A and B are shown apart, each in its own frame.
Chain A
Amino acid sequence: DADVTQTPRNRITKTGKRIMLECSQTKGHDRMYWYRQDPGLGLRLIYYSFDVKDINKGEISDGYSVSRQAQAKFSLSLESAIPNQTALYFCATSEGANYGYTFGSGTRLTVV
């Protein structure tokens, strides 16, 4: 099994729909992150969590919400999807600030 599992891998949804992207990890790390990647841009931070009771906004949190259900689970929700949220979304975990991230396989989301 992968260390960081994202579901679904691909999703097409309609404008205005609510959608949840799920992430679970078996690394035992406290820190979890959601990033989105758009062509020509770096990975941009949406939300991050340093433990179950800690949730922080990243650079581009508008239109998104998150839930840290357990140390191992961190889900990202789009309350009302819009076409410019079409992107590749990555979940990641880390042991600490001076350790590398472990990324999930990504979720390719298309909003039509």
Chain B
Amino acid sequence: ILNVEQSPQSLHVQEGDSTNFTCSFPSSNFYALHWYRWETAKSPEALFVMTLNGDEKKKGRISATLNTKEGYSYLYIKGSQPEDSATYLCAFTSGGFKTIFGAGTRLFVKA
């Protein structure tokens, strides 16, 4: 059974704080790791897809790292803004190309 865990479940930060969340996934049969940003009343939007151990991706103030050997990925947000408030989902794609999502980390950024 594939299991993708995200922590923390929710996070409250002040505007300007930097923050990070964790996604844990099986370290075997890895194919890809996805991160999505999901705003309330909208659809999830893809942030990053990473496929190689050691990959690092960056989009503006958001970045992500990948460790496939130990089965974790970190998402970092530098200088959080209220518009960063959303649920951040990670998803693990196995070698069989089935993609399993974590339950998400809900971020609240207070102005």
A residues apposed to B, CB below 8 Å? 33, 35, 40-45, 48, 50, 58-59, 90, 97-106
Contacts and interface: CB of A to CB of B under 8 A. Distances in A.
The A contact surface, by secondary structure, is loop
Contact of A42 (B32, B48, B102): B102
Contacts of A102: 46
A90 B43 contact: yes
Interface of B: 4, 31-32, 34, 36, 42-49, 51, 89, 91, 93, 97-104
B93 A98 contact: yes
Nearest to B34: A100
Contacts, number: 56
The B contact surface, by secondary structure, is strand
A97 B89 contact: no
A99 B101 CA distance: 15
Nearest to A6: B43
Contact of A45 (B42, B45, B99): B99
A23 to B, nearest CB: 12
A-B residue pairs, 9 tightest by C-beta: A100-B46, A42-B101, A103-B43, A43-B101, A42-B103, A97-B97, A98-B32, A98-B51, A42-B102
Contacts of B104: 42
A42 B89 contact: yes
A17 to B, nearest CB: 26
Interface-centre pick from A41, A44, A101, A106 (highest chain B CB count, 10 A): A101
Contact of B34 (A35, A48, A58, A101): A101
